[in-house]
């Protein structure tokens, strides 16, 4: 039985310059920071409350924040040392202020004793979910949705398909690519845990064809493992935003996620490659999520893929890569298509930080829409981005709702192709925020 299936291509999206400057550069540990700043909200859902106090000594892996809400994920210490204070930081995805704990490291990197199960494969589903939740695992593709919630679909929404997302279609980002190459076996065992929990009929590993080395590597690992009859690799034509959940589901299964609904409403759960590796760490090694691979790239002297502790300042990582090139004036957390520009080099790496892109940016003057329709042609959700931008600019948010703005995944393909330089995604974000405000009034 074939492990690798026929290549698939999407009729939507755009071909963007990939600029994968660090795809051949192995993962290396980032230097341990002298101090970490750890926001108490790093996921979609409820923020955590601190479970430690100022002056308390903590160990690596010790829980320092938690919530009693279902859609939440605990936070753990990433260095050993003393809790020396708190501060407010801006949460980049929401623009809201969140509380953060400051831990001054003692340089010992002393870990909490880990609870390693004797037979991870034999753990019951309930125990697996408890351990995944306890490890603070969230989706590491950028959305940071609590993983145990995603793995707990309602009884009336059976899951028949699991997709492991190894596309990494954002330009510059290579962290998932390196995880597949260097931690491939662990990732597959994490995927097997996902399979055990959800019991799907099919498991696919989706990878864009610009990562042929990862496809070949995983194909060999699967062929020589007990997963050879169960896991299927699907190569996908490299085209942005192939890695978007709804795009993947449409391409692989021919299913459309209903407007305003989630993949589970189509019988599918999609997990990121790095998330599967984090599940392995939690189940097989008892490790909570305290670090991740971050790509530092673009206009830096030495692009790298760094295994980085959460709470490390983004500025220190850039300095470790030889600092910014002359003329660089922009830093994006995430990729250039969906990432968010940062104004503070002291901001910490958080669970959703997969890439830091340094750029030399020039202001682009916005012009009036010429009704060329290019944004409509590339929209993977079949929307009319030009109308969404026009209504948002005019403050006609109810009409944005009527044009299915909630179905926009904010991929940025529309803005990338717009000859008038209209920042369509920014207008969409404003409209969504205003609609959300109206819904809570």
Per-residue model confidence (pLDDT) at position 441: 53
CA distance 366 to 297: 28
Do 390 and 261 belong together in one domain?
A: no
Tokens of 421: 């330089």
Inside any domain, residue 330:
no
Place of tokens 């298509």: 337
| pLDDT score of 1 more than 90 | no
Do 389 and 240 belong together in one domain?
A: no
| pLDDT score of 385 more than 80 | yes
Domain boundary among 285, 309, 328: 285
Rounded to 5 degrees, what angle do the CA atoms 361, 28, 240 make?
45
Inside any domain, residue 156:
yes
| pLDDT score of 79 more than 90 | yes
Which CATH number do you get for residue 135?
A: 3.40.50.11540
3-state SS, one letter per residue, for 68-92: CCCCCCCEECCCCEEEEEEEEEEEC
Cis geometry, peptide bond prior to residue 241 (ω within 30 degrees of 0): yes
Angle between helices 125-134 and 184-198 (to 10 degrees): 130
Helix, strand, coil percent content, the chain, rounded in steps of 5: 30, 20, 45
Do 253 and 383 belong together in one domain?
A: no
Q: Which of 30, 28, 46, 48 is nearest to 38 (CA)?
A: 48
Coil vs helix vs strand at 136: coil
Inside any domain, residue 224:
yes
**CB-based contact 36:309 (threshold 8 Å):** yes
N- to C-terminal Cα distance for the chain?
A: 56
Q: How many domains does one find in the chain?
A: 2
Coil vs helix vs strand at 262: coil
Note the pLDDT tens digit of each residue in 137-147: 999 987 899 99
- pTM higher than the cut 0.85: yes
Do 151 and 275 belong together in one domain?
A: yes
**CB-based contact 167:207 (threshold 8 Å):** yes
Q: Residue 29 CB: number of other CB atoms within 10 A?
A: 10
b/e map 356-387, b = 16+ CB within 10 Å:
bbbbeeeeeeeeebeeeebbbebbbbebbbbb
| pLDDT score of 198 more than 60 | yes
Inside any domain, residue 339:
no
Mean pLDDT of 376-392: 94
Inside any domain, residue 404:
yes
Helix or strand (DSSP H, E) at 387: helix 385-393
Phi and psi angles of residue 138, each rounded to the nearest 5 degrees, phi first: -130, 170
Tokens of 36: 């970490």
**Domain enclosing residue 231, as ranges:** 122-285
Domain boundary among 255, 285, 315: 285
Return the sign of the alpha-carbon dihedral for residues 233, 236, 240, 246. negative
Place of tokens 């939740």: 133
Place of tokens 């019988």: 267
| pLDDT score of 440 more than 60 | no
How far from chain centre, in Å, is Cα 266? 21
β-sheet bridge partners, residue 297: 357
Note the pLDDT tens digit of each residue in 215-272: 999 999 999 999 988 999 999 999 999 988 998 999 899 998 988 789 999 999 999 9
CA distance 91 to 99: 9
Query: Which has the higher per-residue pLDDT, 171 or 90?
Result: 171
| pLDDT score of 439 more than 80 | no
Inside any domain, residue 101:
no
Note the pLDDT tens digit of each residue in 293-339: 999 999 999 999 999 999 999 999 999 999 999 989 999 999 999 99
Per-residue model confidence (pLDDT) at position 320: 97
Inside any domain, residue 33:
no
């Amino acid at each position: 039985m074939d492990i690798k299936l026929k290549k698939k291509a999407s009729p939507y999206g755009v071909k963007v310059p990939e600029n994968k400057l660090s795809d051949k550069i192995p993962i290396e540990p980032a230097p341990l920071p002298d101090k970490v700043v750890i926001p108490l909200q790093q996921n979609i859902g409820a923020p955590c409350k601190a479970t430690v106090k100022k002056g308390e000594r903590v160990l690596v892996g010790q829980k320092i924040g938690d919530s009693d809400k279902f859609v939440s994920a605990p936070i753990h210490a990433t260095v050993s040392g003393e809790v020396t204070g708190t501060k407010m930081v801006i949460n980049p995805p929401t623009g809201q202020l969140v509380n953060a704990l400051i831990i001054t490291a003692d340089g010992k990197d002393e870990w909490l004793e880990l609870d390693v199960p004797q037979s991870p494969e034999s753990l019951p589903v309930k125990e697996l979910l408890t351990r995944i939740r306890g490890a603070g695992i969230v989706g590491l593709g950028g959305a940071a949705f609590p993983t145990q919630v995603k793995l707990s679909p309602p009884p009336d929404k059976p899951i028949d398909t699991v997709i492991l997302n190894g596309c990494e279609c954002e330009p510059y980002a290579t962290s998932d690519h390196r995880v597949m190459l260097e931690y491939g076996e662990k990732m597959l065992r994490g995927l097997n845990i996902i399979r055990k929990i959800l019991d799907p009929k099919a498991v696919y590993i989706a990878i864009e064809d610009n990562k042929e080395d990862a496809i070949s590597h995983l194909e060999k690992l699967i062929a020589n493992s007990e997963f050879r009859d169960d896991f299927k690799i699907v190569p996908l034509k490299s085209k942005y935003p192939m890695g978007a959940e709804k795009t993947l589901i449409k391409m692989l299964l021919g299913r459309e996620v209903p407007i305003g609904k989630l993949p589970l409403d189509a019988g599918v759960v999609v997990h990121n490659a790095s998330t599967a590796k984090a599940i392995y760490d939690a189940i097989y090694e008892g490790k909570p999520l305290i670090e991740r691979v971050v790509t530092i790239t673009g206009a830096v002297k030495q692009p790298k893929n760094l295994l980085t502790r959460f709470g490390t300042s983004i500025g220190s990582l850039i300095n470790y890569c030889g600092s910014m090139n002359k003329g660089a004036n922009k830093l994006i957390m995430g990729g250039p298509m969906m990432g968010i520009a940062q104004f503070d080099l002291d901001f910490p790496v958080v669970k959703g930080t997969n890439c830091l892109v340094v750029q030399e940016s020039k202001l682009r003057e916005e012009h009036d829409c010429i009704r060329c329709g290019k944004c409509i042609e590339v929209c993977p959700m079949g929307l009319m981005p030009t109308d969404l931008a026009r209504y948002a600019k005019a403050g006609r948010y109810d009409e944005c709702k009527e044009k299915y703005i909630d179905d926009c995944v904010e991929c940025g393909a529309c803005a990338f192709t717009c000859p008038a330089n209209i920042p369509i995604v920014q207008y969409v974000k404003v409209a969504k925020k205003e609609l959300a405000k109206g819904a809570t009034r």
